[in-house]
Structure 1
Amino acid sequence: MRIARWETSAGRADGFVVDDRVVPFPGGLTVADVLAQGLDAARGIYERVKGSAGTPLADVRLLAPVAPASIRDFVAFEEHVEGVSASVDGEGGVVPEWYEAPTFYFTNPHTVLGPGAPVAPPVTQRLDFELEIAVVIGAAPGVGETNLTAAEAASTVFGYTIMNDWSARDLQAREMKVRLGPAKGKDFGLSLGPWIVTADELESYLDDDGFLAVRAEAWVNDRLVGEDLVSNMGWPLPELVAYASRNSRVVPGDVLGSGTVGNGGCLGELWGRGVDIPALQTGDVVRMAVEGIGELTAAVGPQVAAPELPPARPRSRARRR
């Protein structure tokens, strides 16, 4: 099943993509409602409406397929870490701590973009994309509880979508020198889409170790710049979910990004490997294709200058009034 959100002149709707048409959920249900009911319930809803006429897919504008409750983004591909590290310090390598646990950061659910929506970056000299696959969490036994096992976490994976974690590398580098972040280097935009493909649709791609062996490609202005198998991750996707639940919780509607794939999943990695390729500019088009899911495309819009803020004040104030 493919689940989407879309917009027409008549308004917005949530539902299924069935062949070349979209069919709304019955009774005004939303994607959030269906995620809260879980995958088995979604199958029942699909059987009820799949024969409906619907609207041609070509006649709607797809939106981000989920309004995330939260977004965690991991860094689970060793090759990506090697390349980006080299672009930062010229040496590369992977710190030992990377191998100990699947590290992630939280990003902004309020600046999520849908398919085709242009990104409006801040003023930056090093705008980049990041090609990822994302897990969308749905209702399942154990969801909302802490410290899930990998098997329990696997049952919470409702489906998958494509994720582009846009990045202003110069802003990101400044922030991370303060040993915190990334923040403003990334929170201006994150693209999701084109839809959610339910987990059962990709079961045939799981290898013997539980890794999802689907091909992922990144194109800039119709030039293939990166390609990898998602199975080259350090951890299978359910283990990322399990780690996210450590002394915490994952709930329906949460989105967890795999982290950027290797072999050119972002320009930062290529820069670290000495590839002469320019940063993204206004008008560039980034297209991502993931086997079994589809394609996510977006153009780079004009940079948006923000009002200036002063630097920190000197510590010259009295400690007491």
Structure 2
Amino acid sequence: MRLATFRHEGRNRTGRIDGDRVLPFRGDPTMLEIISGSPVETTDPVDMAAVRLLAPLQPATLRDFVAFEEHVEGVRRSIDGSGGVPEAWYDAPAFYFTNPHRIYGPDDDVPFPARSVNRDFELEVAAIAGPGNSIFGYTILNDWSARDLQKREMQVNLGPAKGKDFASSLGPWIVTADELAAHRDGDGFLDLWCDVTVNGVEVGRDLLSNMGWTFETMIAQAARDSRVVPGDVLGSGTVGNGGCLAELWGRNGRQDPPPLRDGDVVTLTVEGLGHLRNRVVSAAETASLPPARRRDPARARAERQH
């Protein structure tokens, strides 16, 4: 099934996509309630042309993995000038937590920090966790990135923060796991074509099956010594072969293709999942923060003792 969250006649609703119609669920359950197992009953169909699709869910957590070697190698060249893939990458699927409170949906404008000029998309597929650490379904994820902010802050060796937490896009709907079973290869990977265009021009194209771990392994890693709950979103990480601009910048040694600019339309397409389209805009200017106070800690402690 394809399950969507949408706005119709002033209400946010959920329903099942059926061709060019959507069958709303009676009582307007949230997507999280559906994922958690609440029974649903459909009502009279509504034409898709009469609704606006929203992000399919607002997750409690969004973990983003980095499961593609090709992406790691290219982006490392772009961000810090190094090459190759760290040996630690092969130990286990690595991830970071990004902001679940800045989720955008299909055809939304995505506001980048006004001070960022090296703006980038990231073409990903996300798994939606179901009960018992199962996979409920999949959707498309765009992990938007302000590369200039990211490059500076990652010199602290803590990980991406303000270069990432301003926006992620999900959509256009959730495709339940059973719908994609026929696309699994012999090792359990989903063999789906993933494509990205900017203003209608293809920039990258890769197979999802080029990832280093299955989504089941990534959920198992996320749940080790921790907890994954229904509705949690786990991103695959960016596909290779042009799944983001930074990978291409690292390989080409220059910003070719150029960074995203206001008005650019980015469309992610994944076989079996649909299209996720967004337009890039600039957020309002924000005030500068004061610099860190520099002091001699030992001297401060000594003076405090007297």
Q: State the TM-score, normalized to the length of structure 2.
A: 0.94
C-alpha distance in structure 2 between counterparts of 1:184 and 1:256, whole Å: 20
Residue among 105, 128, 137 paired with 2:120: 128
**1:92-131 correspondence to structure 2 within 5 Å:** 92-122=83-113, 123-131=115-123
C-alpha distance in structure 1 between counterparts of 2:283 and 2:244, whole Å: 19
8 Å CA contact retained: 1:69, 1:252: no
Match of 2:22 in 1: 22
8 Å CA contact retained: 2:138, 2:174: yes
CA displacement at 1:239 relative to structure 2: 0.4
Higher mean alpha-carbon deviation, 246-255 vs 11-20, is at: 11-20
Task: Give SS of 1:27's match.
Answer: coil
C-alpha distance in structure 2 between counterparts of 1:31 and 1:23, whole Å: 14
C-alpha distance in structure 2 between counterparts of 1:89 and 1:181, whole Å: 13
Percent identity between the aligned chains? 56
> Is there any run of 5+ residues in structure 1 with no aligned partner, and where?
144-152
CA displacement at 1:252 relative to structure 2: 0.6
8 Å CA contact retained: 2:144, 2:168: yes
1:165 equivalent to 2:143? Answer: yes
**1:135-146 correspondence to structure 2 within 5 Å:** 135-139=127-131, 143=132
Residue among 274, 282, 288 paired with 1:294: 274
Match of 2:53 in 1: 62
Match of 1:81 in 2: 72
1:230 equivalent to 2:208? Answer: yes
C-alpha distance in structure 2 between counterparts of 1:207 and 1:32, whole Å: 29
CA displacement at 1:316 relative to structure 2: 5.0
CA displacement at 1:208 relative to structure 2: 0.6
C-alpha distance in structure 2 between counterparts of 1:116 and 1:185, whole Å: 22
Residue among 265, 268, 275 paired with 1:285: 265
CA deviation vs aligned residue, 1:133-160 (integer Å, no higher than 9, x gap): 0000112xxx2xxxxxxxxx5xx10000
CA RMSD, 1 decimal: 1.5
8 Å CA contact retained: 1:71, 1:254: yes
C-alpha distance in structure 2 between counterparts of 1:304 and 1:185, whole Å: 16
8 Å CA contact retained: 1:215, 1:229: yes
Give aligned pairs, total: 298
Residue among 285, 292, 297 paired with 1:312: 292
> Is there any run of 5+ residues in structure 2 with no aligned partner, and where?
none
C-alpha distance in structure 2 between counterparts of 1:18 and 1:29, whole Å: 18
Task: Give SS of 2:266's match.
Answer: strand
1:10 equivalent to 2:10? Answer: yes
C-alpha distance in structure 1 between counterparts of 2:74 and 2:189, whole Å: 22
CA deviation vs aligned residue, 1:73-112 (integer Å, no higher than 9, x gap): 0000000001101112334210100011100000000000
